[in-house]
Amino acid sequence: MATDIDTLVSMGFSLNKVKKAMKATNGAGLQPAMDWLLSHPEVSDEPEEDVAPPQALGTASSSSPTPEDEGEIKDGEQTAHSLICNDCQKLFRDATGAERHAIRTGHQNFAESTEAIKPLSEEEKKQKLAELKTRMAEKRAAREQAEIAERKQAEKIRRKAGQEVTNIKEALEAKEIKKIYDMKKKEKELEKVAKAKIMAQIEQDKKERAARKEAKQNVQQAQAQADALAAAQPVVKKDYNEARLQIRVPGSAAITHTFDATATLSDVHTFLQGQGLSNAFALSTTFPRKTFGSADQTKTLKELGLVPSAALVLVYV
């Protein structure tokens, strides 16, 4: 037992794992322990409580033999030292090995056997050790290959995710650029429409100013033509025979009367005196301001420029 444990420890297994393997296989030997260690890599290196070493198959649990144990066994009292597969006649040290064999081959017919499996020789141990190292190397290589494949797959997934993120960012940027472009395009279109409206308004204003200018020119031309036509015609001076005078009297209502154009200013004085104005007075025009004197008494209204009408102011003297 100690040799098998040392062998497994020398192969790289921890002492605690080896002890657990020996306990799990009931001390069946090197091969079952190796198989158990290879099939249970998850077992920790933590130590377990000390237990009594497993006893060999078929040995008595009592430390002191009874007289009956020392005697010859009878037929049917043989002790089972192993398990045998009735399908292929292969021997196994314990139920664990038989179970693995059943799983691997599909054989189901097992029975107890009194035939003990002989211990491995040094050559067989070396051969088993070499096989175990080979299997461990193969498993290690397979595990490394699996890890490499997993890393490659993870890197592939990472690159794919990175590419997808890049594509999403590019799509978002393209969408944002298109949005900005559409906004600029719309602004340009609105600016173009507004500019067109302004230009149309300017053009309309030009037309209206041109129309007003043309109308004004037409009016001026018509007026000029009318003035020219009027200037071309001979001036006919109208001869007025009457003079309508409006005379304002201080403190009284204005006096309006029509005189003959040949009447003198003295006749106007006589008329006013007949209206009750007995005080001395004189007559004058409002604009331009002119006061008529005694020398104007004999002049006619036509000569004084009071025809056809005039406004006079009576001034007391």
Q: Give residue-wise pLDDT tens across range 210-232.
A: 998 988 888 888 888 777 877 77
Q: Which of 105, 122, 140 is the last residue of a domain?
A: 140
- Domain assignment of residue 264, yes or no: yes
- Domain assignment of residue 17, yes or no: yes
Q: Which of 115, 140, 165 is the last residue of a domain?
A: 140
Q: Which of 140, 156, 178 is the last residue of a domain?
A: 140
- Domain assignment of residue 282, yes or no: yes
- Domain assignment of residue 185, yes or no: no
| Residue 69 pLDDT class (50, 70, 90 cuts) | very low
CATH of residue 266's domain is: 3.10.20.90
What is the tally of structural domains in the chain?
A: 2
Q: How far apart are CA 149 and CA 143, in angstroms?
A: 10
Q: Which two tokens stand for residue 62?
A: 């009592």
Phi then psi for 283, rounded to 5 degrees?
A: -115, 145
Percentage with pLDDT > 70 across the chain: 85
Q: What is the predicted pLDDT for the residue at 244?
A: 92
- Domain assignment of residue 175, yes or no: no
> Which domain covers residue 103, as residue numbers?
2-53+79-140
Contact (CB, 8 A) for 133 and 140: no
Q: Which two tokens stand for residue 80?
A: 């089972």
Pairing assessment for the beta strands 255-260 and 242-248 based on DSSP bridges? antiparallel
Answer whether residue 59 shows pLDDT above 80: no
pTM over 0.85: no
Q: Give residue-wise pLDDT tens across range 293-309.
A: 889 999 998 898 888 88
Q: Give residue-wise pLDDT tens across range 111-161.
A: 887 776 666 677 877 787 788 778 778 888 988 999 999 999 999 999 999
Residues 135, 246, single domain; the answer is: no
Residues 123, 251, single domain; the answer is: no
Peptide bond into 288 cis (omega under 30): yes
Q: Who's near 315: CB < 8 A, 6+ residues apart?
A: 281, 282, 283, 284, 291
Answer whether residue 61 shows pLDDT above 60: no
| Residue 63 pLDDT class (50, 70, 90 cuts) | very low
- Domain assignment of residue 93, yes or no: yes
Q: Which two tokens stand for residue 178?
A: 């298109």
Q: What letter does residue 294 receive in the DSSP assignment?
A: G
H-type alpha helices, the chain: 2-10, 15-24, 30-39, 95-105, 122-232, 265-274
The residue with greater pLDDT, 258 or 84, is 258
Mean pLDDT to the nearest integer, 193-221: 91
